[in-house]
Amino acid sequence: MIIALSGLAGSGKDPEPNASDKKRFWEGVVKRGPSDCWLWARSTRNGYGRIHLGGRAGKSVSCHRLSFRLAHGYWPKKMVLHSTQCVSKLCCNPIHLREGTHTENMEDRDHAGATARGDRLAKKLSSKIVRDIRKQYASGAASHRQLGKKYGVSHTMIGFIVRGDWW
Ligand SMILES: [Zn+2]
């Protein structure tokens, strides 16, 4: 699916990311395999990752646009679209992102359902919950299965979380 980013097309006013912005950005992205979705695990707005660039005088930008900027060396002039294999709008894997057109976006809006499911999962597992899960598992207080039941996700997902594969 290709995802709408109305109003987020390049304004030409985006600040250039400095070294500390880049570091903070990549610290917030959970990288998996080269072709997997790399999900942003920090603040979001309207389902998209947001990060503040350039200190106090800077401004906040969406994370997948920043990922595009870092990969290609320029701010995209158009909307940045996610690939059809993305599980969430939080994905920041540069190879899943490309510049697209408004028309493409409208044509593919029907496919947004799968993305919404990925977002619900991401929301369900906020970073605080992930920390709690890891703490409980590390203390030996609960098994994968018990934690899965408690937080309403599969025990496989709990396995991902405690190993740090996902979040
Ligand atoms: Zn992706």
Cα(152)–Cα(5) distance, integer angstroms: 30
Write the burial class of residue 112 (CB in 10 Å: 0-12 exposed, 13-18 middle, 19+ buried).
Answer: middle
Q: What pLDDT does 8 receive?
A: 45
> Ligand 1 mean position to 153 CA, how many Å?
21
Q: How far is the CA of 101 from the centre of ligand 1 (A)?
A: 18
pLDDT given for residue 10 in this prediction: 46
> pLDDT tens across 52-94, in order?
998 778 899 999 999 999 998 889 888 898 888 888 899 999 9
CA of 56 to the centre of ligand 1 (A): 30
57 CA from centroid of ligand 1 (Å): 31
Measured distance CA(91)–CA(30) in Å, rounded = 9
Q: Compute the distance between CA of residue 50 and CA of residue 40 in angstroms, rounded to an integer.
A: 9
Instruction: Answer whether 0.75 is exceeded by the pTM.
Output: no
Q: What is the pLDDT of residues 2-52, one digit of tens each?
A: 544 444 444 457 788 999 999 999 999 999 888 889 999 999 998 899 999
Q: For residue 39, how far is its CA from the centre of ligand 1 (angstroms)?
A: 8
pLDDT tens per residue, range 84-109: 888 889 999 999 998 887 666 555 55
Using one digit for the tens of pLDDT, what is the confidence trace for 103-151? 665 555 545 555 555 556 655 666 777 788 889 999 998 998 898 888 7
Query: For residues 51 and 25, is the Cβ–Cβ distance under 8 A?
Result: yes
Ligand 1 centroid to 29 CA: how many Å? 12
Q: How many helices (H) and strands (E) does the chain have?
A: 7, 7
